[in-house]
């Protein structure tokens, strides 16, 4: 018998996941800027300092390279650190630690060392935080061998991906879109770990495959609903894991619908959408009835004014238009 559902938010689901992980395993601790006394820049860790104390909820200096490196070292030493980076833009300051240490040590040590570190960070735009706090740079990390990259778009994934990530012997990066933290809905009271190897079909369809992840999922589902009003049945795929990509689910869907549109909040040039589009052409070319479409952010630093920020991001009308173009309508 299934557990009764409770009403919660994405923020609360992430907090519950962190709390459960710390209760289950004394090696787990959280570190990052403002995660303790302030309760987290997005209030994810609010209350955890009082519950677990400063040894396990560690406020760090404003030095991403320093505390991410410390988290990597702690993981090498047998701990299970959860490292929070305030925003993906700031993660460029610790890219060296992630690229040259976390992702390479297993290989360079001949398999002698594992780096079971989980690095969480906020990504995306929509809150008028201007260009230095609003970009989607997941594709940079999805480019790097040696790490896993996930993007929870639902309450169940926000709740369940963390524990699965902590059980991985290699580094896992979790990208949480800023526009999801206030998202509310029902979640099973006993919701637990989820698979992070497979994409999910969030809406079945027969006419076009809409492929997306993270903060763009809700917009893509809304676009599919609008298309359905005109008799167009769009299939919506939530990638969930950005590295490694679940090619099997993508290609099976595109092989049936014969059309694909990729919705990606990253910039179009060198985007994750470009990688997925290339894979579709490589593996499904003879099944395609139309060119692969892409809906991406405008190639500008994300603006501060609300109307310009909205104009720079993928929105429902642009997704609908791309799907119609794929169908020649």
Which pLDDT belongs to residue 192?
87
Residues 6+ apart with CB under 8 A from 50: none
At 89-114, the pLDDT tens digits run 999 999 999 999 999 999 999 999 99
The answer on pLDDT for 3 being more than 80 is no
What is the tens place of the pLDDT at every residue in 38-79? 999 999 999 999 999 999 999 999 999 999 999 999 999 999
Locate the domains of the chain by residue range.
Answer: 5-188, 200-327
pLDDT tens figures, 156-184: 999 999 999 999 999 999 999 999 999 99
What confidence category does residue 325 fall into, taking pLDDT thresholds of 50, 70 and 90? very high
N- to C-terminal Cα separation, the chain: 46
Q: From CA 241, how far away is CA 117, in angstroms rounded? A: 17
Instruction: Report how far residue 79's alpha carbon sits from residue 50's, in angstroms, rounded to the nearest whole number.
Output: 21
Using an 8 Å Cβ cutoff, are 125 and 178 in contact? yes
pLDDT at site 1: 54
Fold: same for 5-188 and 200-327:
yes
CA 250 to chain centre: 17
- Which positions are catalytic? 64, 133
- Strand ordering across the sheet containing 118-123: 57-59, 28-32, 80-85, 118-123, 172-177, 148-150, 241-243
Q: How far apart are CA 270 and CA 290, in angstroms?
A: 21
Closest CA to 261 of 247, 271, 276: 276
Give the three-state DSSP class for 89: helix
pTM recorded for the entire structure: 0.96
Structure tokens at 166: 């902590």
Mean pLDDT within 15-38: 97
Instruction: Please state, in angstroms and as integers, the Cα–Cα distance from residue 32 to each residue in 37, 82, 87, 94, 182, following that order.
Output: 11, 9, 11, 12, 21
E strand or H helix at 29: strand 28-32
Helix (H, G, I), strand (E, B) or coil at 6: strand
User: Does the pLDDT value for residue 2 go beyond 70?
Assistant: no
Instruction: List, for residues 243-281, the tens digit of each pLDDT value.
Output: 999 999 999 999 999 999 999 999 999 999 999 999 999
Domain 200-327 architecture: 3-Layer(aba) Sandwich (3.40)
Beta pairing class for 148-150 and 241-243: antiparallel
- Classify domain 5-188 at the CATH superfamily level: Thiamin diphosphate (ThDP)-binding fold, Pyr/PP domains (3.40.50.970)
Written as six digits, the tokens of 254 are 């595109």
């Amino acid at each position: 018998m299934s557990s009764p559902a409770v009403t919660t938010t994405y923020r609360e689901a992430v907090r519950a996941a962190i709390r459960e992980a710390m209760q289950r395993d004394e090696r787990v601790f959280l570190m990052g800027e403002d995660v303790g006394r302030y309760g987290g820049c997005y209030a994810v860790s609010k209350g955890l300092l009082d519950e677990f104390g400063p040894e396990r909820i560690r406020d760090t200096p404003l030095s991403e390279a320093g505390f991410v490196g410390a988290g990597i070292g702690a993981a090498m030493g047998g701990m299970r650190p959860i490292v929070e980076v305030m925003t993906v833009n700031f993660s460029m300051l610790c890219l060296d630690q992630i690229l040259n240490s976390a992702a390479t040590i297993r290989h360079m040590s001949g398999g002698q060392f594992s780096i079971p570190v989980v690095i969480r960070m906020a990504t995306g735009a929509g809150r008028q935080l201007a260009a230095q706090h609003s970009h989607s740079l997941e594709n940079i990390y999805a480019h790097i061998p040696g790490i896993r990259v996930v993007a929870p778009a639902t309450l169940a994934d926000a709740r369940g991906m963390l524990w699965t990530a902590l059980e991985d012997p290699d580094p896992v990066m979790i990208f949480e879109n800023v526009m999801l933290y206030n998202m509310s809905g029902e979640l099973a009271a006993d919701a637990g770990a989820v698979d992070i190897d497979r994409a999910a079909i969030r809406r079945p369809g027969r006419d076009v495959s809409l492929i997306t992840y993270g903060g763009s999922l809700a917009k893509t589902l809304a676009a599919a609903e609008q298309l359905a009003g005109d008799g167009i049945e769009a299939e919506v795929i939530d990638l969930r894991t950005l590295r490694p990509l679940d090619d099997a689910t993508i290609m099976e869907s595109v092989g049936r619908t014969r059309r694909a549109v990729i919705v990606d909040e990253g910039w179009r040039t060198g985007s994750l959408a470009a990688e997925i589009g290339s894979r579709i052409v490589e593996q499904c070319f003879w099944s395609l009835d139309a060119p692969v479409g892409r809906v991406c952010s405008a190639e500008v630093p994300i603006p501060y004014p609300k109307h310009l920020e909205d104009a720079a991001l993928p929105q429902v009308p642009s997704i609908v238009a791309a799907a119609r173009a794929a169908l020649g309508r």
